[in-house]
A and B are shown apart, each in its own frame.
Chain A
Amino acid sequence: MSGYYFALAGCVALVVFLTYLLRRRRLREKYVVIWLVVAVSVCVLGAFPQLVLAVTRAVGMETPSNLLFATALLVLLGVCIQLSVEMTEVEEETRTLLEEVALLRYDVQKLSDETVRTTDEDA
C-alpha cells in the first residue's frame, strides 16, 4: 500500500509546484491550465481508484491501466501540438520584430548621419 501513498503524494506535490510556478509568473496561465487539470484529476483518481474501474467499464476497456496509458498519451499529444502552435507564433513575432529593428536601425543611422552633417555646417 506504500506505493499508493507515494503516488498520491507525488500528485499533490505536482499541483503545489504548478501553483508555485504560476504565482511566481514563471508559467503563463494559458499553459498551466491543462497541467492543473491533469494533476487534479490524477489526484482524484489516485484517491478513489474505484473511479478508474467505473470509467474503464463505461468506455468498454478491459484493464484500467490501458485506459490511463491511452489518456496520458492523448494529453501529452495535445500539449505537444499546443506548444508547436505557440512556438510558430513566437517565431513569427520574432521575425516581425527583427524586421522592425532593422528598419529602425536604418532610420537611426540616417538621422545621426544627417545630424552630424548639419552640426558640421553650423560650426
Chain B
Amino acid sequence: MTDDRRRTLLVILPAWNEEEALPGVLDELHATLPEADFLVVNDGSTDRTAVAARRGRTMVLDLPLNLGVGGAMRAGYKFAARKGYQAAVQVDADGQHDPADVRRVVGALESEGADVVIGARFAGEGTYTVRGPRRWAMKLLSASLSRLTRTRLTDTTSGFKASNRRAIELFAADYPAEYLGDTIESLVIASRAGLVVRQVGVTMRPRAGGTPSHNPAKAALFLGRAVLALLIALSRPTNPPIGETA
C-alpha cells in the first residue's frame, strides 16, 4: 500500500454515460500528465463507463446511483482527502477540456497563491461564444461572484477546476449536489471559507459526443435557476469548514 505516501496531483473525471469519449480522453491525459493519478467517478452510468474507465493507471469510484456532477465530485474530493493528495483538478470526461491546459490551471495554484483555480472560457482564449438569456445569466453570475471573491471571474459555471489541499478538505465535507451547486454555490462556499479563488483562461474543444442546447426557453430557465441558486447560496448561514476525519 502506498496510501501513506504524500501524493501530489489527482485528476478527477466525473463521468455519466461517457463510455464512448472516455478511453480517448484518458489516453490523452495519461500521455500529457505522466506524474498525475487519475480517478474516474462513475456517476451511476447505465452504459459501460466503468469498464471503459479501467485503462492504464486510472482508478475508478463506482457510485451505485446517479448523484449528479456535484455528488460525483464530493465523492472524488473525499477520495482525494483520505488518500492525502496535495492537489486535485476536475476535468470533464467528454473531452471538452484540453489536457494541455491542466498543467497551467494546476500550476496557478502555486504561482497565484490560490486555493481554487478555475479554467475559464471567455478569458481571452478560445472562440467559445453564447448568446441571449444564457449569456445574460453568465454575465450576471460572473459579476456577482467576481465581487464576492474579489477577483475577475469570467466563467463561473466552468467544470474545469483545480483545488489545493485546503480546498479539497473543504469540498470533501461540503459540496452541493443541487443543480448548479457544483459550480456557483461551491465558489460561494470556497470564498466564504476564506479560500482564494483565481482563474486561468483555457480553450474549449468541441464535445466528443452529444449536442449543446441553444433553445431560448431552456436558456431562460437556466437564467432563472442560476439566479435562484446564487441567491440561496448567498443567503445561507456560513459554517466554519469542518476537517475530514478519516
A residues with CB within 8 A of B: 94-95, 98-99, 101-103, 105-106, 114
CB distance from A28 to the nearest CB of B (A): 24
CB distance from A100 to the nearest CB of B (A): 8
Further contacts, 12 of them, CB under 8 A, given A95-B67, A98-B63 = A95-B71, A98-B65, A98-B71, A99-B78, A101-B64, A102-B61, A102-B63, A103-B79, A103-B82, A105-B62, A106-B61, A106-B79
Chain B binding surface, main DSSP class: mixed
Q: Which residues of B contact A103 (CB under 8 A)?
A: 61, 75, 78-79, 82
CB distance from A92 to the nearest CB of B (A): 8
B residues with CB within 8 A of A: 1, 41, 59-65, 67, 71, 74-75, 78-79, 82, 177
Q: Which residues of B contact A114 (CB under 8 A)?
A: 1
Assembled-state Cα–Cα distance A83/B59 (Å): 39
Nearest A-chain residue to B44, judged by Cβ: A98
Contact status B64-A99, CB under 8 Å: no
Q: Which residues of A contact B177 (CB under 8 A)?
A: 95
Contact status B62-A102, CB under 8 Å: yes
Assembled-state Cα–Cα distance A101/B63 (Å): 7
- Which 4 pairs show the lowest CB-CB distances between chains A and B? A99-B75, A102-B61, A102-B63, A98-B63
Assembled-state Cα–Cα distance A95/B176 (Å): 11
Known: A95-B71, A95-B177. A106 touches B59 (CB 8 A): yes
CB distance from A113 to the nearest CB of B (A): 11
CB distance from B77 to the nearest CB of A (A): 10
Q: Which residues of A contact B74 (CB under 8 A)?
A: 95, 99
Q: Give the residue of B59, B64, B82 whose beta carbon is less than 8 angstroms from that of A98.
A: B64
